[in-house]
Amino acid sequence: MNSWSEGALALIVVVALGIGLFLFTGESIGDGGGGAEGPQPITVDPEAAARGEVLAEGQGCLQCHTTDGQLASGPSWKGLAGSTRPLVGGQEVIADDGYLFNSIVDPHSQVVEGYEAIMPEFYSDQLDEQQINDLVEYIKSLAA
């Protein structure tokens, strides 16, 4: 059977390891990991973005979405990627790759506050996965 002194020693070792970890990494144990504070840098595949730009023009996306921040019937793509988006119903979401992809294939599932759910839902049938990813890359290229 362990004595109380062995338990106290084990506790001291665990606390010392935690302090050492914090001093070494600057992260506390159990803070969500990754140490990511603020938005992550947005990386863009320029070739895919170029294909996405051509696709956006050809599919008519730019009739409702602007690329310069101007208001339109759909949210502007300027500065969209990586931003926090307020949704109808009060929730918020980060406009990461998954959100952007989902907004194309299932646009009514997360409607941005201040906009109507008017985007057609047929793009998942008209576009293949690569084309949708190209559109996402184009939107990401407009983040700055």
Give Cα 118 distance to the centre of its chain: 22
Same domain as 130, residue 78: yes
CA distances from 2 to 5, 37, 85 (A): 8, 42, 54
Give Cα 129 distance to the centre of its chain: 18
Same domain as 117, residue 68: yes
**Counted domains in the chain:** 2
- 54 HSE (CA, 13 A, CB side): 6
* Number of DSSP helices (H) and strands (E) in the chain, helices first: 5, 2
Domain holding 9, by residue range, is: 1-37
Reduce the DSSP state of residue 102 to 3 states and report it: helix
32 burial type by CB count under 10 A (0-12 exposed, 13-18 middle, 19+ buried): exposed
What's residue 39's pLDDT?
A: 59
Same domain as 55, residue 5: no
Per-residue pLDDT of the chain in tens (144 residues, 90 and over written 9) = 457 666 666 667 666 666 655 666 555 455 444 444 555 689 999 999 999 999 999 999 999 999 999 999 999 999 999 999 999 999 999 999 999 999 999 999 999 999 999 999 998 899 999 999 999 999 999 997
pTM assigned to the model? 0.73
Same domain as 122, residue 53: yes
Same domain as 104, residue 68: yes
Same domain as 53, residue 21: no
What's residue 15's pLDDT?
A: 63
What's residue 2's pLDDT?
A: 58
Same domain as 105, residue 67: yes
